[in-house]
Chains A and B, each alone.
Chain A
C-alpha cells in the first residue's frame, strides 16, 4: 500500500477571507486556486458564459443535448468504455446547460490525476457524438420531457418561464421541446460545442491536493485547445416581464403556484440590499415573513419560498408554493399583501441586523469541501466580483444602512408588477 504524507493547513487568516492564488497557464488561461492537502482529491469548477441562450429557437434544447453527450464516448473510447475508465480512476464529471451558461465540475482522486485530466480533456474537446449515442440520449431527453409533463410542479415551472419572460430566450425550456429536439443533427452538435466552449467565456476555480505547477499544466491540457473565433452576444435584458395572473387548469387536489417580479443584475450596487430584503421576505429558511405568516401561522402550505436570480445583465425575484385548491387565492393575496408591506413599511431594525448577521456568518459554509471552494472561486469570477471580493464582502454587508435598504425596497417592490402562474384547480 502506498503511504501518503498529509499536511493539514489552516488557510483562513480570519473567518471569511479565503486565501487563494491567481494562476496563469503557459497558454494564457488564468484561474483561481486553493491548495488543500487535507484530502487526496482535486476538484475543478468551470463555466462558459453562454449556454442555452445561444441556441437557435427552432433547435432549442441543443445546448442540453450537447452537454448530455459529453460523457458518451470520445474519439478513442466508446460510451461504455469511457464510463468504465471514469470509474477506474475515481473520476466524476458533471456538465449542465443553464439559461445563461454551461457549468461543470470535475473531480478526481489525487493518485489518478494524470489519467483523469486526460479523460476530462477528451470529453470536452473530442466527444464522439456517435449517431447511436445521439439517438439514445435524444430518447432519454424525450422521456424526461414526458415525465415532466406528468408532474404538476414541473408543468408549473415550465409554464411560468414561458409566460413570465415574454419574448426573452429565458421563456424556453432548457430541455427544448419534443419537436425541436428531433430536428437536431450531429453537425449542429459539433458546431455548437465549438461556439459554446471558448476560452474568452471561460472561468475556472480549483481546489485540492495538487501542486501549482502541475495544475497549471493540466488546466492547459484541458482548455488550451479551445479557440475564440465566435463572438457571442450579450444576454439581453428582460424587457417584457409579464404581470397579473395566469391559470392553467389541470385535475389535482393541490395547486402549484409560481410567482415572479423584476430584480437586479448581480453587479448592481444595490444587489446586496435586495438580497437582504429577499432573505427577510422569503429567503431565510424557517424565518422568513412568507414562511411565518403563511405556513407557521395559518398552515396553508408545506413550503413557501422566494429567491433571487441574478444574471450578468439583469435579474428577477422568483417564488413559489403549493396549496389545496380552496386556499389558492387566499395565499396569493397574502403574498401580494406581504409585497405591499415591504413597500409601505419596509424592514425593521431587528430584521435588518439579523439578516446582516446571517450573511456574515453563513459564508464559511462554502469552505467545507474542495468542490464547494472550487465552485465559490468560479462563481466570483463569473460575476466579475473582483479578486478582493473575499475581503470586501464583509465590508459591503457591514456598510449597508437600514434607510438605504428601505429606500431600495420602496423603489423596487411593487405588487402590481407581480406575475402569478397558477396550475391546478383553484376554487
Chain B
C-alpha cells in the first residue's frame, strides 16, 4: 500500500461537473423495436383457436366470445390478464395465424386493476396501431407447418389399372402429421358429422389405435370410406392452414383404420347391449345416408331392413366413386360392421315395383328415403340425344357392375366437377388397357380459378395424360351427317365462357362466340350433375308430399311432411358422403325420439 493509494480515490472528483447520465424523462422513453410490451391482436385474422391459451404457463389468457362463430373461426378471442402475464411471448410464437403480436409499449397507468385485463384488438388501446414490438422471426416454429407428403403410385404404374393410388401413411409419417395438430377443435363444427377429430388424431400420437377406431365409428360408420374419399371440409377449417398446410385429417383417419385388424372392428365399435324395442324401420337405399341411419337405429335396438335396388349395397360409394380412389374391400368392411349391428340389407329389391310404398308404410313404424342421385343430367345441346353420348353416373355404374362399356380411342367429357374427373380417369384406364394410350379431353364451364373438382384430382388427371380445358361451354355434339357412320359422334363444339352467372347470380352463361373449338371424340360424356329418381314414390305419395325445388321437403331432423317418412342423404342434400352420414345420424336420432314416444304412449 502506498501514498498513491490514498490519493487515487480522489480522481473520482474529476466527474463532478459532468452531465448526469440518468434518463431525464423515463416516462417517454421508447422501448426497443423488439420489446415485448402490451399485446395487439388483429381481430379479423385471429380465428380464436385458443393455442395462445393452451401455451400460457401462467393461465393469463381466457377465450371470450366476441363475435358469432363461423367456419374456421370460433368467434372467441383471447383476453389477457396482465396480473398474470409474464411477457414471455410464447402466445405470439404459437399463434396459428400470426394475428397476435406485441407492441413495444410498457408504460401505462390506471387506478383500476381490472383495466389491466382486456381483449387485445377489441378493447381499443393507444398502441393498437404501433408498428414496433415483438414479432416472431421467420414464421411459426412451435408447431409443424408442412404436411407429410402422401406416397402415391406413379402415374405410369397406375394408369393401366384400377388399383388404389394412395399408399396411406405408415406409423412414423402419421405420428409426424398428427403431431402438427394443436387440438383447437375448429374442424369439429365444420365436419358435417362433427367427428371427434382432435381426439382421434391424439390417439395416433399415443399409438392407441383401438380407441381411435372407437372414436371414428362413434360418429361415422363409413370411416374407412371417408378416410379415402371424404371431401374433408375439416381441412378448410384447420387452424394450421393459415401459415402452412392444413393437417391431413382425412389421411390420418384412414391411417387409424389401416392399423387395426379388421377382425377387431366389431368388438371395438361395440354393439350396445340393449333390449330389442320390437319396432321396425325400413330404409330405402343402401348408400351412406341410409346405412348410417340403419347403423344408429340398429344400435338403438330397433329392427332395421335396408332395401337396395342394385346388386350390392353402397350406393354412390360403390357405383359412383372409382375403385382406384375407393377399393371395394374398404367399402365392404364398413358395410360389414353395419351388418354386424343387426342391420338386414336386401339387395336387388326395387321399391315401387317389387314392394310398394304402401306396404312398407304398413309394415314398419318408420320409413327412410335415402335414394341418392342416380340419374345424370343432360346438357340438351344439339346432338346430345345421340346413342354415343353417355351420362357419367350411368357409365360409372356399368364399369363397377362389370358390364361391357364402349371404349373409343378419343373421348370428350363435359363437366368440371369430381364426377367428371372420375369418369375421365376411369375411361382413361380402360383406354390404356384397350388401346395402350389415353385420349381424353375434359371441357369445363368453370375457369381454373373457380374450379369445382379438387385440386389433387386435376393434378392427378393431368399426370395420367388427360387434357383439361377450362372455360369451355358445350354448343353441339357433332355427328357424322352421312355415310355408313351416319349418326356417330365425331366431336364436341365449344365456345369460350366469358361469365357463368348474371348480375343477379343466376346461371346464365355468356360466351365468346369468336373463340370456338372442336374437340374430336367418338364419345361424349356428360358429367354436369345428377337428379333423384323419385318415380318409386308413386303418384299418390308424390302428391301428398311437400316439395322444395324438386326435392322432397324436410325439416331440420330430416322428417318429411308425411309423419312416417324421413328422407336423408344426396336426394335431399348435396352429393357428398360425409353429409349423407351426418344426415343419417340426424334422421336416426329423430326417428328414435318418435319411436320412443310411440312406445311410451302405448305403455
Please determine whether chains A and B interact with each other in the same assembly.
Answer: no
